[in-house]
Amino acid sequence: MRRFYTSTIIVLLCTAFTSSPGQDTHSAAPPDHLFGFFPKSVSSQRTHEARALNLVSPGSPERFLQDLTREPHHAGSVGGRRSAEYVQQMLKSFGFDSRIAEYQVLLPYPEDIRVSLLEPEQKTLRMKEDVEFHPNALIPYNAYSPSCDITAEVVFANYGFSDDYAKLREMGVDVRGKIVIARYGRGYRGLKVRDATEAGAIGMILYSDPADDGFMAGDVYPKGPMRPWDAVQRGSIRFLESYPGDPLTPGYPATKGAKRQSPDEDPDMPRIPCTPLSYDDAQHILRVLEGPVVPRAWQGGLPFTYHIGPGPAKVRMELTMDFQTRPIWNNIAILKGTVEPDKLIILGGHRDPWVFGAQDPNSGTAVLLETARVLGDAVKNGWKPKRSIVIAQWDAEEFGMIGSTEWGEEFRDKLRKDAVLYINFDGSVSGPNFGASAVPSLDHFIQSITKDVNDPSTNTPIFAMWWKNQNRSRLKTLEDVIPENAAVSVGRIGGGSDHVVFLSHIGVPAMGFGFGGPSGIYHSYYDNFDWMKRFGDPEFKYHATAAKLAVISAMRFANADILPFTYGAYADEIAKQLRVIESRLRDHPSTDSLILSSVLTKTQRWKQLADTLDRSLFQQQFEKRQANAINAYLMELERLFVPERGIAGREWYKHRVVVSSGYASIGLPGISGALVQNQPETLREEVLLFEAIIDTIIDRTGKLLATIRTAKN
C-alpha cells in the first residue's frame, strides 16, 4: 500500500510523533556484549550470525524479484494465485513448513473508466499509461469507488484535505454539487475522499502533480526515477477509520462460510465516486479552470497558473465497477523452534501489487525470500532457533490490509498469547537511504542491529550513515566524527500496511525498516523490474543488506535469553504525548486542565522503574526460571496498552498509545480523540483507563525488579 522509506516525494510512513535523538544509554557495552544474551551465549550466537550473513547474496533477491514481476499479480487474479504458489514453493525448498491460507473477500475491479472534458472544450482523456498494456493488468482506478455517471463543474482543492476546504470557504468557493480535482500526497487518499464528501462534492478526481513526484523532482522514467507524464497512481479509497480488512466481515475472518454484511453497512465505504489521472490528463482540466488564482502554496508544477474554479471546466465521469467476493491467498511458512516452539517471531509483508510491483511490494517479498533461504541454510549448518520463525506473505494489502487482517482476526487469541514480535517488509528498497519505524520498546534494538551490518556503498555501519543523514548540520562542527553516545531518531510506526492488525488490534510489538530513494513510480504501471534495475537498486546490494538486517533480527529474537525490548523510551514517549495534550487542554476552558496531572506523575514514576529495569537486564545474567518470568513480563507489556474495550468510535482499534489514521500515527488516540471530538465524559473515561494501565505496569515492573534484586543478592 505504501512506501516505507523515501527521501523524496510523499513519505507514506507518516509519523505524527518521533523519538528524539539523544544518548543511547546502552552504547557503553563491551565489544563482546550482545543485548539480550548471557555471556555464555554470545560467542555461539555471533558465530552463527556471521555464518548466516556470509550466505546472503544480491543475486538471489534479484532472481526472486525478476520471477515475481513477470506478470501482473493483483489480489484475486490468476497471476496472484501463481505468485502465491511460487512463494510457497520457494519457502518449502528453504526448509519451512509452507502453506497457503485462503480467504473470500470483497474486491472491486474496474470494468470501464471514462472521464471526458465537456466544457469549455471537448476532450476524452486517455485514463491509462501510454504503453502496450499487459492483457492481465487492471486499468487504473480507485478501489471501492462506486459506479457512476455524473457531470458537473470542477473545483481545484489542492491536496483535498479538510483544511483545504476551509481555505476554499474562506475564499468564497462552494464545492457542493461539484467534482473536486485534487493532488495526491501528504496523506492517505481515502481520507481525501471522505473530506470531499463532507464538503459536499459529488465526485473526485485525484492526480499526481509533477511538483511532488514528477519532472520537478528529477528526470522522469525511463531517463530517471521520477513519475512520467502518463503514469497513473492507483489505490484504494476505503477510509479504514472503523476497521481494515474485508469490508463485509468486520472483526472476524472472511472464511468461506462466514456471515457477511452488506457493503452499505460498512461505515468506511466511499459514497462518492473517485478516479485517478496522470498529470498529462489532469492538465487538460486544470488549464481551463478559471475563478480565483490559487494561493501560492497551492501552485503545482504544470506550466500554467492554477485557478480554483468553479468552471468553466465541466467534466463527465463514467465509472463501472465490478464488486465481487473473490479468493485471496496468504503464504504462511514456519521454521519451528526447538525450546519454545509456540512463541512466534513473525516477519511479514504483502505480495500483491497494483500491476507488477517491483518496488511496492515485491522488493520486500524478495528480501523475505532471501531471509528465509539464509535462515534455512543456517539450520542446516547447525543453528537451532529456540522460538519459531514465521515468514508471511499477505495478499490484498493494497485493498486495505485485508490478508493480514483476516489472518490476525482468525488467530487473534493465539497471537495475543504467543506472538513475540512482528517485523513488516513493504516496499523495502527503492534507494540507499536507511529508515526505520517502531514502537518505542524496539528503538534500542533497531539501533543495535544497524551497528552490526555495513552499508554496502561505504562499508561503514548502517547506523553511522543513518546518524549522519539525521545530523548533517552538526557534522560541520563535529568534523564528520560520530559521538560515542550517539542515538538516532526512530520513527513511530503509523498505518497503511500489514503491521496494523498486530499492533493496533492485538498488541504485538511491531517495527519496519528499509532503504529509500527518489521514486515516482508508486502504484503505476512503471513500478517494474526495469525501474528497479535502472534506478532503485541496480546491483541489488541494498536488497541483500535489508536481508542481512532481517536475518539477524530473526536470529536474535528467536534465541535471545532475555527478549531485547527496552521500556525507558516508551515512558518518555508517553510523557511527551501527555504534555502535548496538556498544552491543548488550555484551549478547552470547559475541561479540567489538571485532569492529566496524576497520570503524568505516574508515567514519570514508570520511567524511573523502566530505566532501572533496562539497566538490570542489560548488565545481569539470570537463571532459566527468572529469565522466563522476565520474558513473560516483556511480552505482556505491549498487550496492556490494548484493553478489550476499543477506542470510542473506532472500536476495532484498541491500542491506547499509538493508532493510525490513514498513514499517520496518532499519539494517545483515546485521550486525544476525545479531546478533538469535544467529548469531556469520554475524555475522563480514557484518562482513567490509561491511568489504570500505567498503575498495572508500575505494579508489575516493581515486582519484577524486586525479584531481580532478590536473585542478585
- Tally of CA atoms within 13 A in the half-sphere of 402 that contains its CB: 30
CA 40/CA 29 separation, integer angstroms:
16
- DSSP letter string, 219-234: PBTTTSSBPPTT----
- Spatial contact of 506 and 419, defined as CB atoms under 8 Å apart: yes
Instruction: Compute CA distances 188 → 2, 28, 250, whole Å.
Output: 9, 41, 21
349 to each of 303, 337, 366, 450, 564, how far by Cα in Å? 39, 21, 10, 21, 22
CA–CA gap between residue 180 and residue 187 (Å, rounded)? 17
**Of 22, 21, 4, which is closest to residue 13 (Cα–Cα)?**
4
Residue written as grid cell 507489556 = 637
Give Cα separations from 600 to 213, 374, 578, 603 (angstroms).
42, 46, 7, 5
Catalytic option among 129, 153, 370, 397: 397
Quote the CA–CA distance of 685 and 323 in Å, as a whole number: 40
> Is residue 319 within 8 Å of 363, Cβ to Cβ?
no
Residue 19 CA to residue 546 CA, distance in Å, equals 22
Q: How far apart are CA 642 and CA 525, in angstroms?
A: 39
- Kindly report the backbone phi and psi dihedral angles of residue 616, in degrees, each rounded to the nearest multiple of 5, phi listed first: -65, -45
Contacts of 477 (CB under 8 A, 6+ apart): none
Find, among 237, 312, 306, the residue nearest to 275 by Cα: 237
Grid cell, residue 213, equals: 513526484
Q: φ, ψ for residue 82 (rounded to 5)?
A: -65, -40
Residue 124 has a CB neighbour count (10 Å cut-off) of 12
Across 498-616, where does the E strand assignment appear? 510-516
HSE value, Cβ hemisphere, 13 Å, CA-based, for 489: 11
Collapse the DSSP code of 346 into the 3-class scheme (helix H, G, I; strand E, B; otherwise coil) and give the result.
strand
| 102 beta partners | 329
Please say if 623 is a catalytic residue: no
Q: How far apart are the first and last CA of the chain?
A: 52
Q: CB–CB of 37/45 below 8 Å? A: yes
Taking every pair of Cα atoms in the chain, the longest distance, rounded to a whole number of angstroms, is 86
Residue pointed to by grid coordinates 524486586: 706
| H/E stretch holding 544 | helix 541-559
Q: Which residues are catalytic?
A: 397
